[in-house]
Amino acid sequence: MISFTDVTKVYPGGTTAVGGLSLTAPTGKITVLVGPSGCGKTTSLRMINRMIEPTSGTIEIDGRDTSTLNPNELRRGIGYVIQSGGLFPHRTILDNIATVPLLLGWDKAKARTRAHELLERVGLDPILGKRYPNQLSGGQQQRVGVARALAADPPVMLMDEPFSAVDPVVREQLQDEFLRLQGELDKTIVFVTHDIDEAMKLGDQVAVLRVGGILAQLATPAKLLADPHDDFVADFLGRDRGYRGLAFAEAPELPLRDEPVVLLGSTVAQAAEIAAGDQWVLVVDDARAPLGWAEPDRLSGLIDRDHLHRGGTVARVGGSLRAALDAALSAPSRRGVLVDEDGRLVGTVRAQDVLSAIERRPAGAVA
């Protein structure tokens, strides 16, 4: 557990970066710090490992006042991930990951074995271990940065906008991989981001800070979206917070349509017959995994991947109301595709049926 008690940081000249911050980051959970520029997010994070010294107040890790600890020893027990990875350019990927274990006195063989294990754990091919950072993509470098932070198995991890320098698709992949790892490792994590959607996705709790490092609200993502403390928090969360809040509401049993399907490689005539006058027909593979929608009346020959419209997202049965509604609204057929845990088609649902389920939710319900 990490606790801040009346922590301030005032720079020479009188600028207050953090003004009396008190909060607790629970053990084994992800606490996300968000807020506008100048709200002291990164300053607060870096005061935990004493890269910045507080002006006053107390920061404790598992009951130990960090001001009483040797800074170097403190930092070796804390994983630290920054934007763009922060890798050493002159060291191989394996040597980058092994940095902290070697500083802690591990023998080289043990440290490199640990580095190999972590490469696989963060989803990278072990062959990349012999390469240098400039030979990897931005997303791969960020994975290496996470692996390096995990190398000595620290109980605490600090992450300062670690995914902000990559494109949106890679960023989502990194977020998913990060959540998978946290599900296995249960680290105590403080995560800084300027992206409210990232905060909502990753945080077990989210701390919204005002300019000057003043805590505006600390709550679960669902509670924040459903009940912001004041106008500042509501405005920061954005006008679509009601829709985003549906991501924390599990979809009830929805009325699913037994959707007619056509196999990839079928003829357009077969597809038109199955569509039975409908403009759109759903195309699946041999395992009944949905591949996309086809429009038989506009095609000739065989249904191949080039004929598919993939604009519609796919939602999981028993997932969130937001995912089900998004699937219905984004599909060209206006029928949301729902699949089971193995990705096989279960059926489709219309937006109005999802909206009916939303209207039936108790007023003020918070997931």
CA distances from 240 to 35, 40, 147, 225 (A): 17, 26, 35, 9
CB 267 within 8 A of CB 299: no
Average pLDDT (312-338) is 91
| Total structural domains within the chain | 2
Residue 254: how many other CB atoms lie within 10 Å: 22
Give me the mean pLDDT over the 14-29 stretch.
94
In a domain, residue 144? The reply is: yes
Banded pLDDT at 366 (limits 50, 70, 90): low
d(CA 56, CA 288): 61
Residues 273 and 354 in one domain: yes
* Structural domain span for residue 175: 2-241
Q: What is the pLDDT of residues 246-290, one digit of tens each?
A: 888 888 889 999 999 999 999 989 888 988 888 999 999 999 999
Based on the domain organization, do 229 and 266 belong to the same domain? no
Give every CB contact of residue 222 below 8 A, 6+ residues apart in sequence: 245, 248, 366, 367
Contact 205, 197 (CB under 8 A): no
* Residue 359 confidence (pLDDT): 87
The CATH code of the domain that includes 290 is 3.10.580.10
Give 219-257 pLDDT, tens digit per residue: 999 899 888 999 999 999 887 888 888 888 888 889 999
Question: Exposed (0-12), middle (13-18) or buried (19+): which is 130, by Cβ within 10 Å?
Answer: exposed
- Is the distance from CB of 304 to CB of 291 less than 8 angstroms? no
Same domain? For 157 and 278 the reply is no
pLDDT confidence of residue 243: 81
Q: Are residues 88 and 52 in the same domain?
A: yes
pTM score, two decimals? 0.81
Select from 194, 213, 241 the last residue of a domain: 241
Q: Is residue 182 part of a domain?
A: yes
pLDDT band at 199 (very low <50, low <70, confident <90, very high): very high
Q: Which of 189, 206, 241 is the last residue of a domain?
A: 241
Answer yes or no: do 236 and 291 share one domain. no
User: Residues 305, 353: one domain?
Assistant: yes
- Asked if the structure places residue 364 within a domain, the reply is no
What pLDDT band is residue 365 in, cutting at 50, 70 and 90?
A: low
| Beta strand 156-160 pairing with 188-192 | parallel
Q: What is the pLDDT of residue 256?
A: 94
The residue-averaged pLDDT of 212-219 equals 94
* Inter-residue contact 328 to 246 (CB < 8 Å): no
| CATH number where 73 lies | 3.40.50.300
The answer to whether residue 50 is domain-embedded is: yes
> Quick one: angle between helices 138-150 and 168-185, nearest 10?
20
On the question of pLDDT at 42 being above 60, the answer is yes
Q: What is the pLDDT of residue 363?
A: 57
Structural domain contains residue 254: no
Convert the pLDDT of each residue in 71-119 to its tens digit: 988 998 899 988 876 888 999 999 999 988 888 889 989 998 999 888 9
In a shared domain, residues 91 and 233: yes
